[in-house]
Amino acid sequence: MIPSIPSIGWSPAPGRTLLLPNMGQVRGTVISPPTQLVWPKKTSADNLDYSLDPSDWLAGTNDYLSFIESVEITTCLGEADDLSCLWSSVINGMACLMLGSGQPGTQQNINVKLLTQQGRRAAISILLPVSSVLAATAPQETPMLPNGTPIPPNAIQLPDGVILLADNGQPLLIA
């Protein structure tokens, strides 16, 4: 299998990175960690990156994270200031999400589904507390393509600023 290529110019925040525990090495089944994972608190006004490090989960397997299949925030109420996933991408071998907004004083539940190069799957549920220190705010804007597709920091960008796209219209990534 192919290890991840380091992303130049941007790194996930170590203080907001959770190490995924070893959950077993069976391919073809969806597994979940045995304990509830909790990311550090944020305010509604923050756009912050949060990451999942699969190195313990995949230790000794010669397998690497390939893709984030889905990100679902199950505690959203349909409000403008609901917690939002502004982009997600595999960066430096980790599942990275940019999260913005969120109802102050709440615990948000984020479900992330991961896929590895060898076909292992994991369904991860993470709690994210949103501080009540600041009022609710809509998420800050992040870079997007004209069609509304978010541009993660590991998108391949030409010197003139053009983002390289795959045939499906998604940004090509350094991963």
Give domain limits for the chain: 14-130
CATH topology of domain 14-130: Immunoglobulin-like (2.60.40)
Q: Which residues of 64-89 are buried (b: 16+ CB within 10 A; e: fewer)?
A: bbbebeebebebeeeeebbbbbbbbb
Distance, in Å, from the CA atom of 52 to the CA atom of 114, rounded to the nearest integer, reads 10
How far apart CA 116 and CA 68 sit, in angstroms, is 9
Confidence bin at 23 (pLDDT 50/70/90): confident
Q: What is the pTM of this model?
A: 0.90
Residue 25 has pLDDT above 90, yes or no: no
Q: What is the pLDDT of residue 1?
A: 59
Q: Strand, coil or helix: what is 84?
A: strand
Average pLDDT, the chain: 91
CB distance 73 to 39 below 8 Å: no
Percent of the chain with pLDDT over 70: 93
Tokens of 53: 């490090």
| pLDDT band for position 80 (cuts 50, 70, 90) | confident
* Residue 142 scores a pLDDT above 70: yes
